[in-house]
Protein backbone atom coordinates (compact mmCIF):
# COMPACT_ATOMS: atom_id res chain seq x y z
CA UNK A 1 0.00 0.00 0.00
CA UNK A 2 1.36 3.39 -0.99
CA UNK A 3 1.91 5.99 1.72
CA UNK A 4 -0.05 8.94 0.48
CA UNK A 5 0.96 12.43 1.48
CA UNK A 6 -1.77 14.90 0.61
CA UNK A 7 0.74 17.73 0.24
CA UNK A 8 2.75 15.87 -2.36
CA UNK A 9 1.07 15.42 -5.71
CA UNK A 10 3.74 13.10 -7.11
CA UNK A 11 2.72 9.51 -6.78
CA UNK A 12 4.53 6.28 -7.56
CA UNK A 13 2.19 3.34 -7.78
CA UNK A 14 3.66 -0.01 -6.80
CA UNK A 15 0.82 -1.71 -8.65
CA UNK A 16 1.65 0.13 -11.88
CA UNK A 17 5.34 -0.61 -11.35
CA UNK A 18 4.56 -4.29 -10.93
CA UNK A 19 2.65 -4.36 -14.20
CA UNK A 20 5.37 -2.42 -16.02
CA UNK A 21 7.94 -4.93 -14.78
CA UNK A 22 6.10 -7.61 -16.75
CA UNK A 23 6.60 -5.68 -19.99
CA UNK A 24 9.98 -6.43 -21.54
CA UNK A 25 11.89 -3.64 -23.32
CA UNK A 26 11.18 -5.41 -26.62
CA UNK A 27 7.45 -5.47 -25.88
CA UNK A 28 7.46 -1.80 -24.88
CA UNK A 29 9.32 -1.04 -28.11
CA UNK A 30 6.58 -2.81 -30.07
CA UNK A 31 3.91 -0.82 -28.24
CA UNK A 32 5.79 2.44 -28.82
CA UNK A 33 6.02 1.70 -32.54
CA UNK A 34 2.33 0.87 -32.88
CA UNK A 35 1.49 4.11 -31.08
CA UNK A 36 3.90 6.12 -33.23
CA UNK A 37 2.51 4.54 -36.39
CA UNK A 38 -1.03 5.47 -35.36
CA UNK A 39 0.07 9.01 -34.54
CA UNK A 40 1.82 9.37 -37.90
CA UNK A 41 -1.22 8.19 -39.85
CA UNK A 42 -3.46 10.49 -37.83
CA UNK A 43 -1.15 13.45 -38.49
CA UNK A 44 -1.20 12.67 -42.21
CA UNK A 45 -5.00 12.52 -42.23
CA UNK A 46 -5.16 15.90 -40.51
CA UNK A 47 -2.67 17.39 -42.96
CA UNK A 48 -4.84 16.26 -45.87
CA UNK A 49 -7.98 17.50 -44.14
CA UNK A 50 -9.34 13.96 -44.19
CA UNK A 51 -11.44 12.09 -41.69
CA UNK A 52 -11.24 8.35 -41.03
CA UNK A 53 -14.16 7.90 -43.39
CA UNK A 54 -12.16 9.41 -46.26
CA UNK A 55 -9.30 6.99 -45.74
CA UNK A 56 -11.73 4.08 -45.52
CA UNK A 57 -13.31 5.16 -48.81
CA UNK A 58 -9.98 5.56 -50.58
CA UNK A 59 -8.92 2.11 -49.47
CA UNK A 60 -12.32 0.59 -50.28
CA UNK A 61 -12.75 -0.67 -46.75
CA UNK A 62 -16.03 -2.30 -45.83
CA UNK A 63 -16.07 -0.66 -42.43
CA UNK A 64 -14.62 2.73 -41.38
CA UNK A 65 -14.32 1.37 -37.85
CA UNK A 66 -11.23 -0.48 -39.07
CA UNK A 67 -9.51 2.90 -39.51
CA UNK A 68 -10.40 3.74 -35.90
CA UNK A 69 -8.70 0.51 -34.84
CA UNK A 70 -5.62 1.45 -36.86
CA UNK A 71 -5.47 4.81 -35.13
CA UNK A 72 -5.99 3.42 -31.63
CA UNK A 73 -2.35 2.41 -31.17
CA UNK A 74 -3.31 -1.21 -30.54
CA UNK A 75 -3.22 -2.49 -34.09
CA UNK A 76 -0.60 -4.87 -35.46
CA UNK A 77 -0.40 -3.76 -39.09
CA UNK A 78 0.34 -6.04 -42.01
CA UNK A 79 2.90 -4.97 -44.58
CA UNK A 80 0.22 -4.76 -47.25
CA UNK A 81 -1.91 -2.42 -45.17
CA UNK A 82 1.00 -0.09 -44.48
CA UNK A 83 1.94 -0.02 -48.15
CA UNK A 84 -1.64 0.90 -49.09
CA UNK A 85 -1.96 3.56 -46.40
CA UNK A 86 1.32 5.24 -47.27
CA UNK A 87 0.45 5.27 -50.95
CA UNK A 88 -2.94 6.85 -50.42
CA UNK A 89 -1.74 9.40 -47.88
CA UNK A 90 1.49 10.19 -49.70
CA UNK A 91 3.65 9.54 -46.66
CA UNK A 92 6.38 7.11 -45.80
CA UNK A 93 5.57 4.54 -43.16
CA UNK A 94 8.00 1.87 -44.27
CA UNK A 95 11.63 2.24 -45.13
CA UNK A 96 12.78 -0.89 -46.88
CA UNK A 97 14.96 0.82 -49.48
CA UNK A 98 18.34 -0.83 -49.78
CA UNK A 99 20.78 1.94 -48.99
CA UNK A 100 24.25 0.55 -48.47
CA UNK A 101 26.42 3.12 -46.75
CA UNK A 102 29.70 3.60 -48.60
CA UNK A 103 32.71 2.37 -46.67
CA UNK A 104 34.66 5.11 -44.91
CA UNK A 105 37.34 6.62 -47.13
CA UNK A 106 40.81 6.15 -45.72
CA UNK A 107 43.31 8.48 -47.28
CA UNK A 108 46.97 8.28 -46.42
CA UNK A 109 48.74 11.52 -47.11
CA UNK A 110 52.45 11.68 -46.93
CA UNK A 111 53.78 15.18 -46.57
CA UNK A 112 57.37 15.39 -47.58
CA UNK A 113 59.77 16.91 -45.10
CA UNK A 114 62.01 19.27 -47.06
CA UNK A 115 65.56 19.38 -45.83
CA UNK A 116 66.72 22.90 -44.93
CA UNK A 117 69.42 22.66 -47.60
CA UNK A 118 66.69 22.80 -50.25
CA UNK A 119 64.74 25.73 -48.81
CA UNK A 120 66.37 28.20 -51.17
CA UNK A 121 65.24 26.09 -54.11
CA UNK A 122 61.57 25.61 -53.15
CA UNK A 123 59.52 28.78 -53.15
CA UNK A 124 55.88 29.94 -52.95
CA UNK A 125 53.10 27.38 -52.27
CA UNK A 126 55.48 24.41 -52.16
CA UNK A 127 57.45 26.10 -49.41
CA UNK A 128 54.27 26.84 -47.49
CA UNK A 129 53.20 23.17 -47.57
CA UNK A 130 56.61 22.04 -46.45
CA UNK A 131 56.79 24.55 -43.61
CA UNK A 132 53.37 23.52 -42.33
CA UNK A 133 54.62 19.96 -42.02
CA UNK A 134 57.24 21.22 -39.64
CA UNK A 135 60.12 20.40 -41.96
CA UNK A 136 61.39 23.93 -42.32
CA UNK A 137 62.39 26.81 -40.12
CA UNK A 138 62.94 30.46 -40.99
CA UNK A 139 61.13 32.72 -43.46
CA UNK A 140 60.54 31.90 -47.12
CA UNK A 141 62.66 33.29 -49.87
CA UNK A 142 60.65 35.62 -52.11
CA UNK A 143 60.44 34.72 -55.77
CA UNK B 1 -5.08 14.69 -8.10
CA UNK B 2 -1.71 13.00 -8.24
CA UNK B 3 0.82 12.75 -11.03
CA UNK B 4 1.76 9.16 -11.75
CA UNK B 5 5.56 9.23 -11.92
CA UNK B 6 5.97 5.81 -13.44
CA UNK B 7 3.80 6.67 -16.46
CA UNK B 8 4.46 10.39 -16.97
CA UNK B 9 7.30 11.67 -19.11
CA UNK B 10 8.46 14.32 -21.53
CA UNK B 11 5.44 13.97 -23.82
CA UNK B 12 2.57 13.87 -21.35
CA UNK B 13 1.66 13.74 -17.68
CA UNK B 14 -0.67 11.01 -16.50
CA UNK B 15 -2.65 11.89 -13.42
CA UNK B 16 -5.10 9.97 -11.30
CA UNK B 17 -7.33 10.83 -8.37
CA UNK B 18 -7.11 9.80 -4.71
CA UNK B 19 -10.09 10.35 -2.46
CA UNK B 20 -10.51 10.47 1.31
CA UNK B 21 -12.35 7.16 1.22
CA UNK B 22 -9.34 5.28 -0.10
CA UNK B 23 -5.58 5.73 0.00
CA UNK B 24 -5.38 4.19 -3.46
CA UNK B 25 -5.55 6.17 -6.67
CA UNK B 26 -8.43 5.35 -9.00
CA UNK B 27 -6.00 3.60 -11.36
CA UNK B 28 -4.69 1.42 -8.53
CA UNK B 29 -8.21 0.37 -7.62
CA UNK B 30 -8.86 -0.47 -11.27
CA UNK B 31 -5.72 -2.61 -11.39
CA UNK B 32 -6.56 -4.42 -8.15
CA UNK B 33 -10.08 -5.16 -9.36
CA UNK B 34 -9.14 -6.59 -12.73
CA UNK B 35 -5.56 -7.88 -12.65
CA UNK B 36 -6.62 -11.50 -12.12
CA UNK B 37 -9.11 -11.71 -14.96
CA UNK B 38 -7.68 -9.12 -17.36
CA UNK B 39 -3.93 -9.25 -16.73
CA UNK B 40 -2.87 -9.02 -20.39
CA UNK B 41 -5.30 -6.18 -21.02
CA UNK B 42 -3.84 -4.28 -18.09
CA UNK B 43 -0.33 -4.84 -19.44
CA UNK B 44 -1.46 -3.43 -22.79
CA UNK B 45 -2.99 -0.39 -21.08
CA UNK B 46 0.07 0.32 -18.94
CA UNK B 47 2.36 -0.06 -21.95
CA UNK B 48 0.25 2.39 -23.92
CA UNK B 49 0.02 4.87 -21.05
CA UNK B 50 3.79 4.71 -20.76
CA UNK B 51 4.08 5.40 -24.51
CA UNK B 52 1.69 8.30 -24.11
CA UNK B 53 3.80 9.77 -21.31
CA UNK B 54 7.18 9.23 -22.91
CA UNK B 55 6.89 8.83 -26.68
CA UNK B 56 3.78 10.16 -28.37
CA UNK B 57 1.63 12.25 -26.06
CA UNK B 58 -2.09 11.66 -25.66
CA UNK B 59 -3.10 11.62 -29.31
CA UNK B 60 -6.87 11.84 -29.52
CA UNK B 61 -7.26 8.67 -31.58
CA UNK B 62 -5.90 6.56 -28.72
CA UNK B 63 -9.19 7.22 -26.92
CA UNK B 64 -12.87 6.71 -27.56
CA UNK B 65 -13.92 10.31 -27.19
CA UNK B 66 -17.22 11.81 -26.04
CA UNK B 67 -17.97 9.10 -23.52
CA UNK B 68 -19.45 11.61 -21.11
CA UNK B 69 -22.85 13.21 -21.40
CA UNK B 70 -21.73 16.82 -21.84
CA UNK B 71 -20.21 17.82 -25.16
CA UNK B 72 -17.13 19.43 -23.59
CA UNK B 73 -16.53 17.27 -20.52
CA UNK B 74 -13.51 15.58 -22.17
CA UNK B 75 -14.42 12.26 -20.63
CA UNK B 76 -13.15 9.44 -22.82
CA UNK B 77 -12.02 5.82 -22.64
CA UNK B 78 -8.62 4.42 -23.46
CA UNK B 79 -9.14 2.11 -26.43
CA UNK B 80 -9.70 -1.44 -25.29
CA UNK B 81 -8.14 -4.45 -26.93
CA UNK B 82 -10.58 -5.72 -29.56
CA UNK B 83 -12.93 -8.42 -28.24
CA UNK B 84 -11.93 -7.79 -24.63
CA UNK B 85 -13.85 -4.59 -23.91
CA UNK B 86 -12.13 -3.60 -20.68
CA UNK B 87 -12.81 0.10 -20.41
CA UNK B 88 -10.60 2.59 -18.59
CA UNK B 89 -12.25 5.98 -18.36
CA UNK B 90 -10.14 9.13 -18.49
CA UNK B 91 -10.34 12.87 -18.76
CA UNK B 92 -8.19 13.98 -21.68
CA UNK B 93 -7.48 17.64 -20.96
CA UNK B 94 -4.98 17.95 -23.78
CA UNK B 95 -2.38 16.01 -25.70
CA UNK B 96 -0.09 16.58 -22.73
CA UNK B 97 -2.40 15.92 -19.77
CA UNK B 98 -4.57 12.89 -19.09
CA UNK B 99 -6.35 12.06 -15.86
CA UNK B 100 -6.98 8.34 -15.49
CA UNK B 101 -9.94 7.06 -13.53
CA UNK B 102 -11.55 3.66 -13.20
CA UNK B 103 -13.62 1.44 -15.42
CA UNK B 104 -14.59 -2.13 -16.02
CA UNK B 105 -15.63 -4.68 -18.61
CA UNK B 106 -18.17 -3.35 -21.10
CA UNK B 107 -20.55 -6.09 -22.09
CA UNK B 108 -23.41 -3.75 -22.82
CA UNK B 109 -24.17 -1.47 -25.75
CA UNK B 110 -23.99 1.71 -23.66
CA UNK B 111 -22.32 2.33 -20.29
CA UNK B 112 -25.62 3.66 -19.00
CA UNK B 113 -26.88 0.08 -19.09
CA UNK B 114 -24.23 -1.13 -16.63
CA UNK B 115 -24.39 0.23 -13.05
CA UNK B 116 -20.67 -0.23 -12.43
CA UNK B 117 -19.63 1.56 -15.65
CA UNK B 118 -22.23 4.26 -15.07
CA UNK B 119 -20.73 4.91 -11.63
CA UNK B 120 -17.24 5.23 -13.09
CA UNK B 121 -18.28 7.53 -15.93
CA UNK B 122 -20.37 9.70 -13.61
CA UNK B 123 -17.38 9.96 -11.27
CA UNK B 124 -15.18 11.20 -14.13
CA UNK B 125 -17.85 13.63 -15.31
CA UNK B 126 -18.08 15.03 -11.78
CA UNK B 127 -14.33 15.57 -11.46
CA UNK B 128 -14.15 16.90 -14.99
CA UNK B 129 -16.62 19.62 -14.04
CA UNK B 130 -14.57 20.61 -10.99
CA UNK B 131 -11.36 20.69 -13.03
CA UNK B 132 -12.87 22.77 -15.84
CA UNK B 133 -14.32 25.24 -13.34
CA UNK B 134 -10.94 25.55 -11.62
CA UNK B 135 -9.19 26.10 -14.95
CA UNK B 136 -11.69 28.83 -15.81
CA UNK B 137 -11.25 30.66 -12.51
CA UNK B 138 -7.50 30.10 -12.59
CA UNK B 139 -7.24 28.23 -9.31
CA UNK B 140 -5.92 25.43 -11.45
CA UNK B 141 -3.51 26.19 -14.27
CA UNK B 142 -1.64 24.37 -16.96
CA UNK B 143 2.11 24.94 -16.70
CA UNK B 144 3.98 26.95 -19.29
CA UNK B 145 5.45 23.82 -20.84
CA UNK B 146 1.87 22.47 -20.96
CA UNK B 147 2.92 19.30 -19.15
CA UNK B 148 1.75 19.89 -15.59
CA UNK B 149 -1.27 21.00 -13.65
CA UNK B 150 -0.46 23.70 -11.12
CA UNK B 151 -2.44 25.28 -8.32
CA UNK B 152 -5.20 23.66 -6.32
CA UNK B 153 -5.08 19.95 -7.12
CA UNK B 154 -7.26 19.06 -4.16
CA UNK B 155 -10.62 18.05 -5.61
CA UNK B 156 -13.35 17.88 -3.00
CA UNK B 157 -16.14 15.46 -3.84
Task: Please name the member of A17, A22, A38 whose beta carbon is closest to the beta carbon of B61.
Answer: A38
Q: Are residues A79 and A114 in the same domain?
A: no
Residue of chain B minimizing CA distance to A26: B47
The residue range of the domain holding B35 is 2-151
Q: Which residues of A touch B59 (CB under 8 A)?
A: 35, 38-39, 42, 73
Cβ proximity of A140 and A128 under 8 Å = yes
- Domains contained in chain A, number: 2
Q: Are residues A85 and A114 in the same domain?
A: no
Give domain status of residue A115, yes or no: yes
Do the Cβ atoms of B1 and A9 come within 8 Å?
yes
Local confidence band at A4 (pLDDT 50, 70, 90 cut-offs): very low
Give domain status of residue B157, yes or no: no
Could you give the CA distance from residue A40 to residue A49 in angstroms, rounded to a whole number? Answer: 14
Do the Cβ atoms of A16 and B27 come within 8 Å?
yes
- Domains contained in chain B, number: 1
Mean pLDDT for the stretch of residues A22-33:
96
* Contact B43/A at CB under 8 A: yes
Do the Cβ atoms of A15 and B5 come within 8 Å?
no
Give domain status of residue A9, yes or no: no
Q: Is pLDDT of A142 > 50?
A: no
The residue range of the domain holding A132 is 110-143
Give domain status of residue B9, yes or no: yes
Could you give the CA distance from residue A137 to residue A130 in angstroms, rounded to a whole number? Answer: 10
At A68, which helix (H) or strand (E)? helix A65-71
Give domain status of residue A95, yes or no: no
Instruction: State residue B72's pLDDT score.
Output: 83
Q: Which residues of A touch B154 (CB under 8 A)?
A: 6
Q: Are residues A31 and A79 in the same domain?
A: yes
Q: Are residues A30 and A66 in the same domain?
A: yes
Could you give the CA distance from residue B78 to residue B110 in angstroms, rounded to a whole number? Answer: 16
* Contact B8/A at CB under 8 A: no
Give domain status of residue A53, yes or no: yes
Q: Which residues of A touch B57 (CB under 8 A)?
A: 39
- Of A97 and B151, more confident: B151
Q: Are residues A80 and A124 in the same domain?
A: no
Instruction: State residue A2's pLDDT score.
Output: 43
Do the Cβ atoms of A11 and B43 come within 8 Å?
no
Residue of chain A minimizing CA distance to B154: A6
Q: Are residues A36 and A85 in the same domain?
A: yes
B151: Cβ contacts below 8 Å, ≥ 6 apart: B134, B138, B139, B140, B141
Q: What are B102-117's pLDDT values in tens digits?
A: 999 888 788 888 888 8
Do the Cβ atoms of A42 and B61 come within 8 Å?
yes
Could you give the CA distance from residue A73 to residue B6 in angstroms, rounded to a whole number? Answer: 20
Ramachandran category for residue B96: left, alpha or beta (phi over 0 → left; psi -120 to 50 → alpha): alpha
Mean pLDDT for the stretch of residues A28-49:
96
Do the Cβ atoms of A36 and B154 come within 8 Å?
no
Q: Is pLDDT of A63 > 70?
A: yes
Q: What are B65-116's pLDDT values in tens digits?
A: 988 888 888 999 998 877 778 999 999 999 999 999 999 988 878 888 888 8
Amino acid sequence: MENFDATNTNYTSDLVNNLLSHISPAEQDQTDHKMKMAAKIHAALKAKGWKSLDLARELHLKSPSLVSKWLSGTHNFTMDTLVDIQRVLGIRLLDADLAIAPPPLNVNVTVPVVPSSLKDVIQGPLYKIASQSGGLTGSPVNA
Amino acid sequence: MVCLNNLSGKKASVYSIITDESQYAFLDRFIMEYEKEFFQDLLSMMGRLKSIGNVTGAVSTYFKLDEGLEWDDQVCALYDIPDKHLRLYCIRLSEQIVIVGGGGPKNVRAWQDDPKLAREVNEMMHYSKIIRTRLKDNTLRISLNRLKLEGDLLLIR
